[in-house]
A and B are shown apart, each in its own frame.
Chain A
Amino acid sequence: MPVAASAIYFLNLRGDVLINRLYRDDVGGNMVDAFRMHIMQTKELGTCPVRQIGGCSFLYMRISNVYIVIVVSSNANVACAFKFVVEAVNLFKSYFGGQFDEDAIRNNFVLIYELLDEIMDFGYPQNLSPEILKLYITQEGVRSPFSSKPADKPVPNATLQVTGAVGWRREGLVYKKNEVTYIALITLIDIVIAIARLIDSLCIQVFLDIVESVNLLMSSKGSVLRCDVTGKILMKCFLSGMPDLKLGLNDKIGLEKESQLKARPTKSGKTIELDDVTFHQCVNLTRFNAEKTVSFVPPDGEFELMKYRITEGVNLPFRVLPTIKELGRTRMEVNVKVKSIFGVKIFALGVVIKIPVPKQTAKTSFQVTSGKAKYNPSIDCLVWKIRKFPGQTEATLSAEVELISTMGEKKLVTRPPIQMEFQVPMFTASGLRVRFLKVWEKSGYNTVEWVRYITKAGSYEVSNEEWLFELSMIWTMDLKRGCGRVCGFGRVGTGSLGCAGHGTDRVRCGVRRFT
């Protein structure tokens, strides 16, 4: 049964109901008390998002400082329920100007009630597309367009659009050619685009953003343990009428299919293999399945056209080679070399490298070839920042770390990995390229397409070298068991070392018996 909810509650962190809506009466109105009692006030909170209490199941999500709780008593479709919540939150955000928290809910409760009534009926999700809903659900409570009194804003056939086959785009959009909204100028590319826009304001423009994030786990020796890229294509367009768009990428299967159809050999050039793709609901999936072409009628404005995943043949933008040398009992030398392995002409921005050091670090001194570095004791890391990192270059950091001297034996300890953050514009780790974007519309207007590429660091981590450090030992007598001395090894990095000198606390890990 695809029912997604019998009731939906919005609670703040204290458990007060901000808004609730009952869709079915198979759950009692006081069920939220059970949620408060058995989930919010216990350690269960945050452990498992689906819980059964009594005859009801609670599905909950936390978004900023709000808990959204769905209550059901039937065998509901959980995937549908969670997706509904995610989409509903997106919808609310688009109504409230991007903000979704307790205040936003209180300030817009009438609107939320109205939306909740519209987007779900009897537990079945209905149209959640902001584009369409904004036609007839507005903050001002638009007067009925059909009523005898003249309405402020006539909404033509809103109901047909809600239920229409192209439920994400309203009809009859008209844009003047130079009516392109302003995009914040963040990068140089934006500026170029802005200039280009000035020059060529006669054409309608379509913007494509290919945003990739690279996830990497590399061993300290430089071998890749896990690597994947998740990418998304964001599109922003303001086109008149009902345009039909077709996107061509340099993915292998698509190209092969195309060459088959056109009986023409594939053009040379790098092709890539996408592990998986998912599309916005505007994309014709049957057609994609048959012809491997991405064709769609876009919603108006900005939206996420597709998401993809790649695990093979990833171009890593950076390589990190750490070496750690110990100099005596309380000193160590940290050397980190970072190499950029993308094209010479492009550069990375906002590079941050976080190199973990032991908790008992006392003093650090650095030498860097570029950027700035400092020791941040609150996260126990050396933070090295490089604003601009050109391609095919390398930067090194050599630091000397002095530790607080402790007594005890040497022991292997956990080594948090080195983390990296960066953005590389005009570079895709997957190698994905947009080959074309064609626009058809019966009025036949010209468009100009702009494509931006950017690769960001997802979780980009390199295992640190093993540390061989002195560990504090805490001696205590275990009188009860009478088995003599028990010693505990405090683990560096767990914060247990603070008590090293006092010898009163016992550390939990690695207790070993001496015989």
Chain B
Amino acid sequence: MSGHDSKYFSTTKKGEIPELKEELNSQYKDKRKDAVKKVIAAMTVGKDVSSLFTDVVNCMQTENLELKKLVYLYLINYAKSQPDLAILAVNTFVKTSRVGTNGVYLWQCQAWTIVAKLISVKTDGNGDIWEVVQIAIPIWVPSQDSQDPNPLIRALAVRTMGCIRVDKITEYLCDPLQRCLKDDDPYVRKTAAICVAKLYDINAELVEDRGFLDSLKDLISDNNPMVVANAVAALAEIQENSARPIFEITSATLSKLLTALNECTEWGQVFILDALSRYKAADAREAENIVERVTPRLQHANCAVVLSAVKMILLQMELITSTDVVRNLCKKMAPPLVTLLSAEPEIQYVALRNINLIVQKRPTILAHEIKVLLEFKEYATEVDVDFVRKAVRAIGRCAIKLERAAERCISVLLELIKIKVNYVVQEAIIVIKDIFRRYPNTYESIIATLCESLDTLDEPEAKASMIWIIGEYAERIDNADELLESFLESFPEEPPQVQLQLLTATVKLFLKKPTEGPQQMIQAVLNNATVETDNPDLRDRAYIYWRLLSIDPEAAKDVVLAEKPVITDDSNQLDPSLLDELLANIATLSSVYHKPPEAFVTRVKTVSQRTEEDDYPDGSEAGYAESPAHAAETGALPPSSSASRQPAPAQAPAAAPPVAAAPVPDLLGDLIGLDNSNSLVPVDQPTPAGPPLPVLLPASKGQGLQISAQLVRRDGQIFYSMLFENNSQSLLDGFMIQFNKNTFGLAAGGPLQQPVWYFNDKIPLHVFFAEDGRMERATFLETWKSLPDSNEVLKDLPGVVINSVEATLDKLAASNMFFIAKRKNANQEVLYLSAKIPRGIPFLIELTAALGVPGVKCAIKTPSPEMAPLFFEAIEHLLKS
């Protein structure tokens, strides 16, 4: 049954929209249906057909289910752009989702209200009232449809309503949803269950207030498995987004859900298993019981069911103490995991990423499935060098990871060495060195074979490995000294890693066989490694050995020949706590990325503010300071109107207050000056005195919005004065200010609304100086002494003149810097002051200056010397002002 819908994509005529409009309003049903299809086709290819909203919604009153669904689809896509019209449409849902008969009257009343609303909305703009009535009529004339008891339509209505994410709609959604949750038909109930989760996403409070959560919980005991599964999914999601315990799984729910598992669809099984994986079993026995009931799921053809079952089993296994049970479970889980690898490549990928995690937790789980050794061996005889190396390394990793495979691996490696292909041998030696470290005193018998291929080695890593082996097992190799000697000849030319190994190996040899030969060798090597090398690592190591050997050879033995810790293969090894978290997230994105969910999921409620990070929680210490008075003032200014009346762009730059260095009375006056219409605004408004605010976001960058701001301290509080100027043509509203975190909790974020502008402002430290910063003389002296000298910072402020001590002290006192003492040193005045910033950090200040002469020396002592630059800036500012 192949369709021919592609024709709907191929309308390329010029007046497409008007044409569609006409067709949508056609009196012929078929034509209308085709038109809706065309609209949907246009929507699919990305054309904006939102202007047809009323016409499409008109077609909703149809008996044709297919057409109805298309209209609903359209509605979901465009509801946001036409919220008021969407409400109108929703009433159709309300109607259709109602089975009762007395709804008709109610419906009419509602419809009138909506028409009234619509009229107010529409006539506000340039629409005319007849259009509204025209839309309304087909909808509020109750049709036979309202009596339609078809559960498919009822479900469709509630499903679609949940997708129309217009806030106002939620109130219309509640009643029908309430009814649908208790509908006789399971199909409607299962749809309603999911709809609760949708509604929760839009308006969580509403869901809680209207008791939907309880209705949802009731559905867990529903007699229909699919309803149960969807209810579980909805509850699990709501729980995930809520801090309060909403969906707590008791052992009773657990057993109920485990029973439901047998009858559910495959997807339902996934929902239930995922939700249950949060359950913590009380003891090992319960865990075993749960596992027993989940294990059959491993045989399911659906990979998601299998992985969710594996997740659940792994989590419960934590509690199981019996090693037999654990071993048995591992044995049961292995084959299904391997089977996942015969699925589609994408699923294989997901499976492999998960197996990687599982194997880290339960290293033995796939031990039985090691069937690749022979294949690796075959690969190791290929011609592609890189491939061969990888194959050999892989054999080595198998040996190190799996004890039971080690012996077989060694024999394969030996066979490979015997074929005497240069790079295979080298790679094998590197690998065998690690195997020796992993299993000490087990496979040393093969050293003789290794020594045979000594002279073929030409790669540094292989050479270094071989030398390490010779040194380590010098006592077992009769001609170890000869072997090493052959390497020593070229010592100066060797790469550093070989040199280092040679040095160590020679020392080992000497300590093990302190005979004449090795003694000569060691002298030569040490000489080489200390005198004739530029490599500091090598030289340092050589010196250490030299001293050790000359002072106490026994101690040298203890050090150099100490037993080495057994190595493990920790490549790709994750941190255990991270691993546990990832295992709890098997089958999810988290397990694929090997990152905890928080690392990549940004919980943002609304799409429009995607850029906004939630990482800056509200209410950080001293972070939020805002001047309500000021905000009100700036809000009272008519920025938009003034700008829109005067769209002269040339004026915009002049708006930058700091340009006017001359004293400017107040910021309102400034603005008025800008306005060029002094008479319009009363000048005598109460305004705080203050310098002009520096521009932080020039209009050119902020798309017409200019922001000036500064931190000031007034009446013991810190204010952030901000001035917003709208130089654009349009109305800007919905401002939001966010401060990003900083040392003091300050430094500005920006007004957030699409688009977002960021700007930075420097904080003058003196606004933080607190009123209680005064210190007693004795305390001052004590504090001064108690602070180490490193906390003293000194700076010359060359441009500053102190003319009168008193005036300066007054000025500083006004900024909460308090005078402690003064003394005279020659012709210089030395002043001691104190100040304090939030969190009780004191500043002890020493100002040295000659009266009337430019140049002040400022020394401060504080527990946080890192603040000093800020402080100097502040004091310079204060002294200059």
Contacts and interface: CB of A to CB of B under 8 A. Distances in A.
B64 interface: yes
A152 interface: no
A144 B588 contact: no
Contacts of B530: none
Contact of B374 (A23, A75, A79, A225): A225
Interface string A213-234: 0000101000101100010000
A111 B63 CA distance: 17
Nearest to B41: A109
A122 B162 contact: yes
Contact of B63 (A25, A136, A147, A307): A147
A191 B371 CA distance: 42
Given A86-B344, A139-B3, A285-B296, A106 B335 contact: no
B350 A78 contact: yes
Contacts of B8: 109
A434 to B, nearest CB: 18
Given A121-B194, A143-B65, A281-B301, A27 B607 contact: yes
Contacts of B26: none
B51 to A, nearest CB: 17
A96 B607 contact: no
A143 B375 contact: no
A28 B66 CA distance: 27
A121 B270 CA distance: 15
B302 A281 contact: yes
Interface residues of B, number: 116
B225 interface: yes
A142 B65 CA distance: 7
A108 interface: yes
Interface stretch (B170-178, B594-602, B832-840): B594-602
Given A55-B604, A276-B335, A276-B336, A103 B296 contact: no
B587 A77 contact: yes
A473 B604 CA distance: 62
Given A124-B267, A412-B383, A75 B590 contact: yes
Contact of B347 (A79, A103, A113, A158): A79
Contacts of B270: 2, 77, 80, 125
A160 B224 CA distance: 9
Interface string B190-216: 110011011001000000000000000
Given A17-B44, A25-B165, A159-B187, A145 B150 contact: yes
A163 B236 contact: no
B780 interface: no
A186 to B, nearest CB: 25
A59 B296 CA distance: 29
Interface in A406-439: 412-414
Interface in A131-182: 136, 138-149, 158-160, 162-165, 167
Interface stretch (A44-52, A313-321, A378-386, A499-507): A44-52
B65 A1 contact: no
A138 B186 CA distance: 21
Contacts of A510: 385
Contact of B148 (A60, A83, A144, A159): A144
Contacts of A52: 593, 600
A50 to B, nearest CB: 5
A78 B592 contact: yes
A330 interface: no
Interface string B595-621: 001001110100100100000000000
Q: Which of A17, A77, A148 has the most CB of B within 10 A?
A: A77
Contact of A163 (B190, B195, B342): B190
A293 interface: no
A492 B615 CA distance: 58
A107 B5 contact: yes
B730 to A, nearest CB: 23
A83 B304 contact: yes
A19 to B, nearest CB: 6
> Which 4 residue pairs of A and B lie closest in terms of their CB atoms, listed nearest first?
A141-B66, A159-B187, A276-B335, A285-B296
Interface of A: 1-3, 16-20, 22-28, 48-50, 52, 54-55, 57, 59-61, 72-80, 82-84, 86, 95-97, 99, 103-104, 106-111, 113-114, 117, 121-122, 124-129, 136, 138-149, 158-160, 162-165, 167, 217, 219, 223, 225-226, 230, 275-281, 283-286, 288-289, 304, 306-307, 309, 311, 412-414, 463, 491, 510
12 contacts: A17-B45, A78-B589, A79-B307, A79-B350, A80-B270, A109-B41, A121-B191, A124-B194, A142-B65, A276-B336, A278-B301, A309-B342
Interface of B: 1-6, 8-9, 37, 40-41, 44-46, 63-67, 69-70, 72-73, 76-77, 144, 148-153, 155-156, 159, 162-163, 165, 185-188, 190-191, 194-195, 197-198, 201, 224-227, 230, 233, 236-237, 240, 262-263, 265-267, 270-271, 274-275, 293, 295-297, 299-304, 306-308, 335-336, 338-339, 342, 344-347, 349-351, 371-372, 374-375, 378, 382-385, 585, 587-593, 597, 600-602, 604, 607, 610
